Amino acid sequence: MSARWFTNTNPALRRFWHPVAAVVELDGPGPHPVRLLGDDWVLAELGGEWSVLPATCPHRMAPLSAGQIVGDRLQCGYHGWCFDAEGSCVEIPALGVGAKVPPTAHLAVPFGVEERYGLIWVAVEEPVAPIPSVAEWDSPRFGHAPMPRQVWRATAAQMTDNFLDVAHFPFTHLDTIGNPDEIEVGNIEVSRDGWHFQAVYGHTARSIEQSAAAGAADADVVERVMTFTCWAPHHLRLFIDYGPDGDLLLLFFHQPIDDDNTGLFVLILAENIADGRMTAEDQIAFQVAVGSEDRAMLERLRVKAIPLDPGFETHTRADRTTVELRRLLSDVWALATDDEREGVMPASIAPPAANYAHARSTTGAAVWLHTSGVVPIAPDGTVPDGLIAQAEVIWANIAAMLEDAEMSGADVVSVTTYVTPGLDLAPVMAVRDQALGGALAASTLVVVQELAQPEWLMEIAIVAAR
Ligand code: FES
Ligand SMILES: [Fe+2]
C-alpha cells in the first residue's frame, strides 16, 4: 500500500456530513453554486426546503447555477429542462407536454441535505455518523455569534489539527490569547468513543475580554479549562471554562471544498454575550484575529494533506491530542477501498528548497500530474542562491514528481510561468528547455502584478498526462 496522505478529497469523506453554506449568507433561494470534496453542485430552495443538485445539466452541460427556480423546480437556463428536488427531470419543453423523458435526463442527488445550526449540511453518500449534536445550542445561557464563512488554503484536517493543538499558543498567538510564560504543555486527558474523541486540558491564557478591549500585552493571565470534542472526520467543539470571563463554546465546522481549499464556519456561543459583557461583534472580531494568526501559518504548509503513516512527521508527548486525530482519520481512511482511493501524494519526494510544490495523480484511463514550484524572495528583497538556482530546484522537483508518477518530460503537456513585471526570463527559459530535454510542451507566460504570496517572485506550474 502506498503512503496514506489524508486530503480534502478522500473518498471516505463522502460518507460524512459537511456544511456547504450558512443560510444567512445566501442571497435568496438560489440556485447557488457550491463545491464539496472537489465536486460542483448547486444549492436551491425548492418547495420551501434546501436541495442540492449536480452543477451540470445532463442535456448540453450548461451550469445549473445559471438557471432559475420556477415554482418548486429548478429550470436550466439553456433549453428550459426542469428538475425537481429529487433531481428527476420532470419537463423537457421542446418535447411538449406529457412526453417521455430519457432515463439519463435525471440528476443523481446527494444522499442527504439538512439544515442545522444555521448551516446547510450535505452527505454525498449514506453517512456513518450523524451531524454533530450540540446540547448548548438552544440554551439561553449563551449568546450566539456566527463568524462569516472564510475560505482557507489548507485542508480541513490540517485546520482541525491546528485548532486541537495547544503547543502553538505562546508562539502563534502572542498578539491575542498566547501566554509567553506558559510554554510547556501539561497533561492532556484524551478519550476515544466511536467516531469522536474528547481531550481535556487545563492551562493559562490571556483574558479574552481584556485582550479584545486593550490588547494581549495588558490582559491578565487567567486559568481556563479547555474541553475539545472532535467528531470524525474533522468537526470540532471547544468548550472553554474561562473563569471570570464566563463559558465559551466554539464550534468549528469544515467544508472540504477541494484539494487545496476549505470553507470554515465558526459558530461562537458565549456567556459573556448573553449577559451583555461582550457584544457578538467583539467576539467575532476577536476570534477572527486569533484565526488569522493560525491561517497565516497553515497556508504556508507545502503539502495540502496530513500523513497518517509514522515517519513523515515527528510526534512528541505534547502532541497527544493531534496524534489521536490521526488515529481517528485512519479509521475514516479505512472506510474507502483502494479502488475508490486513487489520489496519490508525493510522499517520496524530497521537499523543495522553494516553498511550494504539489502533485496529484488519478488513475483510470489517464494519469494526471499537476505540480508547481515558486521562486521565493528573501525579506531583504534578494532571491536566495539566485534566480537560476531556484529555477533549477523547481525543475528538479518537477522531474522527481514526474518520475514518481512514472512519467518523463515527454508527458508534460503544459508549462505556465507566472511572473511579476520586469524580470529577465531568458535564463529561466533555458533551464526549462534543458529540463524538458527537447520535449515539446505548450508554454505560457503570465505576467501578474503580484503572485499568491507576496514573498514569491515566480511560480512555475506544469500539467503532465499519460
Ligand atoms: S443544457 Fe440544460 S436544458 Fe439544455
Ligand atoms: Fe491557533
For the chain, the average pLDDT equals 88
* Residue 295 within a domain: yes
Least confident of 42-46, 90-94, 221-225, 361-365: 361-365
The reported pLDDT for the residue numbered 361 is 54
Could you tell me if residue 391 is inside a domain?
yes
Ligand nearest 160 Cα, by number?
2
> Is residue 319 in a domain?
yes
Q: Examine the domain organization and report whether 313 and 247 are in the same domain.
A: yes
Alpha-carbon distance values, 19 to 104, 109, 195, 259 (Å)? 29, 16, 18, 16
Domain residues for 118? 17-123
What average pLDDT does the segment 171-179 reach?
A: 79
pLDDT in tens, 282-308: 999 999 999 999 999 999 988 899 999
What pLDDT shows up at residue 428? 84
Nearest CA to ligand 1 atom 1: 60
What pLDDT is stored for residue 362 in this prediction?
56
Same domain, 182 and 104: no
The distance from CA 396 to its chain's CA centroid, rounded to whole angstroms, is: 28
Q: Which ligand is nearest to the CA of 80?
A: 1
Does any domain span residue 96? yes
What's the CATH number where 404 sits? 3.30.1330.40
Choosing from 64, 96, 123, the residue where a domain stops is 123
Residues with CB under 5 A from ligand 2 (ion): 294
pLDDT in tens, 310-333: 778 888 989 999 999 999 999 999
pLDDT digits over 258-275, tens only? 999 999 999 999 999 999
Ligand 1, from 42, 53, 57: best to mutate by most atoms within 8 Å of Cβ?
57
- Give the CATH number for residue 57: 2.102.10.10
State the first-to-last Cα distance of the chain, in angstroms, to the nearest integer: 22
Same domain, 353 and 323: no
Q: Is residue 341 part of a domain?
A: no
Same domain, yes or no: 115 and 140: no
Q: Model's pTM, two decimal places? A: 0.74
Give yes or no: residues 22 and 103 share one domain: yes
The tally of domains found in the chain comes to 3
Residues 6 or more apart whose CB falls under 8 angstroms from that of 330 comprise: 4, 308
CA of 313 to the centre of ligand 1 (A): 49
Ligand 1 neighbour 79 (Cβ under 6 A): yes
Are 384 and 376 in contact by the 8 Å Cβ rule? The answer is yes
CATH of the domain at 201: 3.90.380.10
Whether 104 and 154 map to the same domain: the answer is no
Whole-number Cα distances in Å, 36 to 14, 254, 306: 9, 10, 19
The answer to whether the CB of 387 falls within 8 A of the CB of 375 is yes
| Residue ranges of E strands in 232-297 | 235-241, 247-256, 262-270
101 and 144 fall within a common domain: no
336-395 residue pLDDT tens? 987 776 544 444 344 443 444 555 555 555 677 777 778 878 778 788 778 888 888 788
Same domain for 149 and 293? yes
Please check whether residues 202 and 320 belong to one and the same domain: yes
Query: 23 CA distance to ligand 1 centroid (A)?
Result: 28
Looking at the structure, do residues 174 and 149 belong to the same domain, yes or no? Answer: yes
